[in-house]
Amino acid sequence: MSSTLLRTVPALRGAVRASGALKPASALASTSFVRSKATLPDLPYDYGALEPYISGKIMELHHKKHHQTYVNGLNSALDTIAEAESKGDFTKAASMAPLLNFHGGGHLNHSLFWENLAAASREGGGEPDGALKKAIDSDFGSFDNFRKQMNTALAGIQGSGWAWLVKDKTSGTLGLVTRANQDPVTGPYAPLMGIDAWEHAYYLQYENRKAEYFDAIWNVINWKTVASRFDKA
Amino acid sequence: MVNISSLWQYLALQSPLQSMSGEQFNITKMGLTTYSLPQLPYAYDALEPHISAQIMQLHHSKHHQAYVTNLNKALESHVAAVAANDIASQIALQQAIKFNGGGHINHSLFWKNLAPAGSDETSLSAAKDLVTAIESTWGSFDNFKKTFSAILLSIQGSGWGWLVREGGQQGGLRIVTTKDQDPVVGGDIVIFGVDMWEHAYYLQYLNGKAAYVENIWNVINWKTAGERFLGTSSSDNMPEL
Ligand SMILES: [Fe+2]
Ligand SMILES: [Fe+2]
């Protein structure tokens, strides 16, 4: 399961970067010009695994329909760009940047999201320990403080978007960022943990009561995944 | 970008419109206008089967109410910040005023440009001049519908699609989108709008937003749209910016 992710995510990072530079993602692919298609990664758990905090129906639609739409949109944007490039039509290729950002970001964000969630009966919930806990305590004062700040950031998103715990790769410090729509986390920030604040992520279960969703999701955060991202970043 | 001072003006000018239906606003002792949730001009289930009663009820009594409540809060804080000569707080509040003020304006326009399917209001014959202008702009009504629908479906994230009369009562027709709760500003006159936030359709259509867009055409209030086009709308005399 996670091998699917590992295959698609690096290809995607290349693709997202290509939106600026208009270069094929071939630098990252082992076989030079055969561009691999992004594919929908399997969830590392069942659709019902995050109940009662996130309903099975939400998970199924979110993964099978919404995420799939981003995967399809990304592949179609990449096809259009490759075709335009092959004809030397760089204006056309460049005009695809917003779609590439939206669908590429949607694919990347959801891939990261699924992996930083887990069933409450398994790795989900609780609090981080070790080096990650230390970093959170030193950069946010305490875990409780961090949680409060993250929920405030989520509640403050006006429209669709995401909130992320990030590590600034230049300073090594942790921070919180929000991103509109499907804008991916880039630049000096390594995304460690993301929460989807689009209405589709909670509406069937929580309707307009999004604060309840933002409270509930802490029961299914996979701190093991977050810690391993922290160690690698 | 929305010009904040235009929005201010817009919100200030909204009062005469709001007074149409009675207790829509109150002048407090500080001279601050507070806004309240306008009543829907139809029952929650009136737009069935195209928009479910559950959606309408949540959308109106929860979502729209939240914009009104948070707009009033932001305006109240803003008055206090002005009184205290606190410029930093005034600036910090502008985003909340724009978002919640926009949410209030947009939903107020939206409710009034919808009507029960099959009613006289949803007949194109209720907007002859507007339909003629649409046909001359897009070649045919069908082509307009197709174009408008495609633009609605291309919105990335939350937002609205609008048919506007560009630049004022003499202007041509144009389709525009605004993100999140940004209102239409800059002198364009809203003819009708469609809410493309997920909360507008998700409980009924799930991820199938194309079906929502297809069905919304059954409940567009062409009478209101036609009156806004001609500038004769009595029911919602939205002021120009
Ligand atoms: Fe999502
Ligand atoms: Fe809405």
Q: Kindly state whether residues B124 and B105 are assigned to the same domain.
A: no
pLDDT for the residue A20: 37
Contacts of A208 in chain B (CB under 8 A): 58, 62-63, 66, 199
Nearest-angstrom CA–CA distance, A173 and A140: 10
Three-state SS for B178? strand
Based on the structure, what is the number of domains in chain B? 2
Q: Kindly state whether residues B127 and B225 are assigned to the same domain.
A: yes
- Residue ending a domain, among B67, B84, B112, is B112
CB B190 within 8 Å of CB B219: no
Q: B78 labelled as ligand-binding?
A: no
ipTM of this complex > 0.90? no
Instruction: Give a yes or no: residue B165 inside a domain.
Output: yes
Q: What is the pLDDT of residues A89-119, one digit of tens each?
A: 999 999 999 999 999 999 999 999 999 999 9
Chain B nearest CA to A161, separation (Å) = 8
pLDDT above 60 for A185:
yes
pLDDT for the residue B127: 97
Q: B199 labelled as ligand-binding?
A: yes
pLDDT for the residue B233: 79
**B68/A25: higher pLDDT:** B68
pLDDT above 50 for A55:
yes
CATH number at residue B89: 1.10.287.990
CATH number at residue A211: 3.55.40.20
Q: What is the pLDDT of residues B73-123, one digit of tens each?
A: 999 999 999 999 999 999 999 999 999 999 999 999 999 999 999 999 999
Ligand lying nearest the CA atom of residue A108? 1
The answer to whether A204 faces chain B, any CB pair under 8 Å, is yes
Q: Among A21-25, A52-56, A193-197, whose mean pLDDT is lowest?
A: A21-25
Average pLDDT, integer, range B208-226: 98
pLDDT for the residue B33: 79
Instruction: Give a yes or no: residue B170 inside a domain.
Output: yes
Q: Kindly state whether residues B107 and B133 are assigned to the same domain.
A: no
Query: If you measure from the C-alpha of residue A132 to the centroid of ligand 2, how many angstroms do you get, rounded to a whole number?
Result: 39
pTM of this structure: 0.87
Dihedral of CA A11/A15/A21/A26: which sign? positive
pLDDT above 80 for A230:
yes
Helices (H) and strands (E) in chain B — how many of each?
Answer: 9, 5
pLDDT for the residue B32: 72
DSSP for chain B, please give it: ---HHHHHHHHHHHHHHHHTTSSSEEE-TTS-EEE-PPPPSS-TTTTTTTS-HHHHHHIIIIIIHHHHHHHHHHHHHHHHHHHTT-HHHHHHHHHHHHHHHHHHHHHHHHHHTB--TTSGGGSGGGGHHHHHHHHHHHSSHHHHHHHHHHHHHT--SSEEEEEEETTSTTPPEEEEEEETTPPP-TTPEEEEEEE-SGGGTHHHHTT-HHHHHHHHGGGB-HHHHHHHHHT--SS--PPP-
Residues 9-28 on A with a CB inside 8 Å of B are none
pLDDT band for position A33 (cuts 50, 70, 90): low
Instruction: Give a yes or no: residue A67 inside a domain.
Output: no
pLDDT above 60 for B11:
no
Q: Kindly state whether residues B171 and B217 are assigned to the same domain.
A: yes
What residues make up the domain containing A16?
A: 1-37
The answer to whether A55 faces chain B, any CB pair under 8 Å, is no
What residues make up the domain containing B73?
A: 5-37+52-112
Q: What is the pLDDT of residues A119-139, one digit of tens each?
A: 999 999 999 999 999 999 999
Instruction: Give a yes or no: residue A48 inside a domain.
Output: no
**A16/B105: higher pLDDT:** B105
Q: What is the pLDDT of residues A133-169, one digit of tens each?
A: 999 999 999 999 999 999 999 999 999 999 999 999 9
Instruction: Give a yes or no: residue A199 inside a domain.
Output: yes
Query: If you measure from the C-alpha of residue A92 to the centroid of ligand 1, how many angstroms do you get, rounded to a whole number?
Result: 28
CB A124 within 8 Å of CB A50: yes
Instruction: Take residue B142 and report the two structure tokens written for it.
Output: 């069908």
Choose among B209, B11, B179, B176: nearest CA to B97: B11
Instruction: Give a yes or no: residue A182 inside a domain.
Output: yes
Number of Cβ within 10 Å of residue B92's Cβ equals: 14
pLDDT for the residue B28: 52
Instruction: Give a yes or no: residue B239 inside a domain.
Output: no
CATH number at residue B170: 3.55.40.20
Q: How far apart are the first and last CA of chain B?
A: 14
Instruction: Give a yes or no: residue B60 inside a domain.
Output: yes
User: Looking at chain B, which residue has its C-alpha nearest residue A98?
Assistant: B156
pLDDT above 60 for B221:
yes
Ligand lying nearest the CA atom of residue A194? 1
Q: Kindly state whether residues B92 and B144 are assigned to the same domain.
A: no
Q: Kindly state whether residues B124 and B213 are assigned to the same domain.
A: yes
pLDDT for the residue A34: 61
pLDDT for the residue A10: 37
Based on the structure, what is the number of domains in chain A? 2
Instruction: Give a yes or no: residue A105 inside a domain.
Output: no
pLDDT for the residue A176: 98
Q: How far apart are the first and last CA of chain A?
A: 22
Pairing of strands B25-27, B189-195: unpaired
pLDDT for the residue A177: 98
Instruction: Give a yes or no: residue B173 inside a domain.
Output: yes
